Amino acid sequence: MIHAPRRWKLALLALAGAALFAAAACGGGTSSADKTATAGAKPAGTSAATKAAGSPTVAGAKVDITGVDELKDGSLDIGSDIAYAPIEFLDEKTNEPVGLDVDIANALADVMGVKAKFNNSAFDGLLAALDAKRFDALMSAMTASDERKKTVDFVEYFNAGSGIIVSKGNPKAIKSADDLCGLKVAAQEGTTQVDFLVGPVDAPGGQDKKCKDAGKGGITVLKFGTDPEAVQALVAGQADAEMADFPVAAYSAQQSKGALEIVPNQIEPAPYGIAVRKSSTALNTALTKALAEIKKSGKYDEILKKWNLEAGKLP
């Protein structure tokens, strides 16, 4: 995952189970299974669209989806960990998915003449679920990293870096990633933040190794199934800091009523991407054309402005 914003007024209180906040969206537990889908079929999931199901509404479509098998039923089924405000999360009043990703997905679906349907699923199981064809695509604040590009293709649509949040007053005086040496840092399992801290599973290292090579203490990474759980660990004093995509980290700090604060500098900005199977070349092409269309129409800029995320705009 990865991001960059400033307003974010929809409640994170709808996000975190019985913790500091209240339950819902992005990052999954260690080998958690899909929350809503069953293997071998498209999941019903949680719909973020209002159009009726059925054949594509091609009359108003601006992107030709002829030959895109995934869209023949008139639906773009998207896997997402819907607990990552302000990128995707559940509205506390309607319990429907909202956020940057949801608005962009609906805009893309609209110009393709279909509906977008979000299905809540643990983040660390999303790639496997996509491979198993439980979803047509993934849209979950997912960083288009080189590691992930080995197994899926991406349509890149936003740019963001990681952010660090700390307790009020920043008691450990954390100003950068180098100040995390010897500390306990909470993060969501399966995210680029964990990779940054300790390296991917097949290539351990990361900031932890950098600390040790400099003769400093290593980083103890506390991994959680969702980002709100990681934030709660910081609030409860179990961690010295928490890492998430910058816009998400800033949103968490904003919603904490002064209990938390964000370290100002972003770390390693990188693009988010809509993940599709490497075999889904026609869908990839359609999504790429749809993205170009909403940029041309101004809808893309309108959505970024709505969420105060203009800093993450991609040309």
pLDDT tens-digit readout, 113-144: 999 999 999 999 999 999 999 999 999 999 99
pLDDT of the residue at 283: 99
pLDDT of the residue at 90: 97
Angle at 20 between CA 311 and CA 258, to 5 degrees: 55
Q: What is the pLDDT of residues 180-230, one digit of tens each?
A: 999 999 999 999 999 999 998 778 899 999 999 999 999 999 999 999 999
Indicate the pLDDT class of residue 247, thresholds 50, 70 and 90: very high
pLDDT of 54 > 70? The answer is no
Q: What is the pLDDT of residues 150-170, one digit of tens each?
A: 999 999 999 999 999 999 999
pLDDT of the residue at 139: 99
pLDDT of the residue at 57: 44
pLDDT of 60 > 90? The answer is no
Indicate the pLDDT class of residue 1, thresholds 50, 70 and 90: low
- Alpha-carbon span 63 to 112, nearest angstrom: 5
pLDDT of the residue at 308: 86
pLDDT of 293 > 80? The answer is yes
pLDDT of 2 > 50? The answer is no
The rounded mean pLDDT for the chain is 85
Contact (CB, 8 A) for 46 and 83: no
pLDDT of the residue at 63: 97
In DSSP notation, 42-57 reads ----EE---SPSSS--
pLDDT of 106 > 60? The answer is yes
What's this model's pTM, rounded to 2 decimal places? 0.75
- Give all domains of the chain, ordered by start, each with its CATH number: 12-159+270-312 (3.40.190.10), 161-268 (3.40.190.10)
Pairwise pLDDT comparison (177 vs 200), residue with the higher score: 177
- What percentage of the chain carries pLDDT values higher than 90? 77
Distance of CA 164 to the CA centre of its chain: 16
